[in-house]
Amino acid sequence: MGYIELMDISKSYNKQSDVLNGIDLQIEKGEFFVLVGPSGSGKSTLLRMIAGLEDISGGTLKINGNIVNHLPPKDRNLSMVFQNYALYPHLTVEQNILFGLNAKKIDKATQKKRLLETAEMMGLSDLLKRKPRELSGGQRQRVALARAVVSDAPLCLMDEPLSNLDAKLRANMRIEIRRLQKKLGLTMIYVTHDQVEAMTMGDRIMVLNDGIIQQVGEPIALYNKPSNLFVATFIGSPKMNLGKAKLKESNLVIEDVFTIPFNHEQILAKFQNRQLVVGIRAEHIPHGAEKDGVQTVEIVNVEQLGNETLISFEVGSKLWTAKWLGQWLVGVGDRVPVQISVENMCFFDEDTGNLIQAATSSLKREVVAI
């Protein structure tokens, strides 16, 4: 039994079409759980249902073993951090942090103790007398986090809290939030549309699309074994390269452009009478050497990132990306050899979009212990 249990949860506004449909999920105590998906997928709605800010149309929601479908937010023993910080502009940082404790009639001595501890933890001790307008975006975000932490609630819900910050500050705040969650032992449910945030922060990720769960699992499991084409293209940056494929004698033909030797008899039966889509990650397309599977491609775009180089090239109607470690002096229009191996490919059913076979290289990969 999980700390939070969602059993066949659904949400409908017009009693005809569901915004969320058949959500079955368990979240463990102390887990950092990330809800990720595109805009309109229903992730914020689901978070608000857990918080009690949205009614549940169908199903059962349990928190710590208790059914809470009809409990108001104040009785669910949780805190929430919103995208827009939701700070009161006329109150000081100290008053903003303590607002919830004042509403709960917590005694002043306890309030002062919690305030000082939280302010020290969040690096806000010197800012307590300032108003929100005198703070930077990162400082305002820390005030919103402090308000959640000071409540001492074991469950914290976050709705895209970093989306208003610049890239550098976002990266720093990801680390801060993760450290804070571990230090306090909070159960955290974090909503984002940014798959990088999901991959770097979550113990587990749930990918949501059109109100339906696509896959739940550890970040690296979703990266290596995406359950369908949607997850394959949503998780990972750059996204997984995809192309239609067919078996022709002992070769795999991709987009009628690449012909690659295919000698995998043990998985051949899975592909019979199926329309295939193959997927391969950018880092699994190295610069080519003299061996089977080398293809010559024309570069259509180059991104020099300092520690790595991304090159893009056309494969039929698709645009693929290769990620090469280091700095490569190549330019648009250059023709370069790339190594494309069947061992690094995921195979999907074109009709259903579901995974047929994960990349055998990821299945063989060993866990390195330090």
The CATH number that applies at residue 170 is 3.40.50.300
Residue 67 and residue 80: Cα distance in Å, rounded? 20
Which parts of the chain sit beneath pLDDT 70?
1, 264-270, 289-293, 362-370
Assess whether 250 and 172 both reside in one domain: no
| Domains: count for the chain | 2
Domain annotation covers residue 272: yes
Per-residue pLDDT at 269: 65
Assess whether 164 and 192 both reside in one domain: yes
Assess whether 281 and 319 both reside in one domain: yes
Domain annotation covers residue 255: yes
Maximum pairwise Cα distance, the chain: 79
CB 311 within 8 A of CB 322: yes
Assess whether 275 and 164 both reside in one domain: no
CA 10, 164, 170 angle in degrees (round to 5)? 100
Assess whether 224 and 271 both reside in one domain: no
Assess whether 210 and 255 both reside in one domain: no
Assess whether 36 and 94 both reside in one domain: yes
Comparing CA positions, the residue from 60, 49, 57, 51 lying closest to residue 14 is: 57
Domain annotation covers residue 101: yes
Task: Report the first-to-last Cα separation within the chain, whole angstroms.
Answer: 32
Per-residue pLDDT at 163: 82
Single-letter amino acid code for the residue at 85: Y
Domain annotation covers residue 187: yes
Assess whether 167 and 59 both reside in one domain: yes
Domain annotation covers residue 213: yes
Domain annotation covers residue 370: no
Per-residue pLDDT at 216: 97
Which of 185, 207, 229 is at the close of a domain? Answer: 229
Per-residue pLDDT at 337: 93
Assess whether 142 and 263 both reside in one domain: no
Which of 229, 248, 272 is at the close of a domain? Answer: 229
Residue 232 and residue 234: Cα distance in Å, rounded? 6
User: Residue 161 is part of which domain span?
Assistant: 4-229
Per-residue pLDDT at 2: 74
Domain annotation covers residue 369: no
Assess whether 58 and 97 both reside in one domain: yes
Assess whether 149 and 258 both reside in one domain: no
CB 43 within 8 A of CB 214: no
Which one-letter DSSP state was computed for residue 286?
P
Domain annotation covers residue 27: yes
Which CATH number do you get for residue 253? 2.40.50.140
CB 225 within 8 A of CB 235: no
Comparing CA positions, the residue from 190, 235, 184, 183 lying closest to residue 209 is: 235
Per-residue pLDDT at 291: 60
Residue 147 and residue 153: Cα distance in Å, rounded? 11
Which of 165, 196, 229 is at the close of a domain? Answer: 229
Q: How do residues 16-42 score in pLDDT, each as one tens digit?
A: 778 999 999 999 999 999 999 998 899
Per-residue pLDDT at 366: 47
Assess whether 127 and 265 both reside in one domain: no
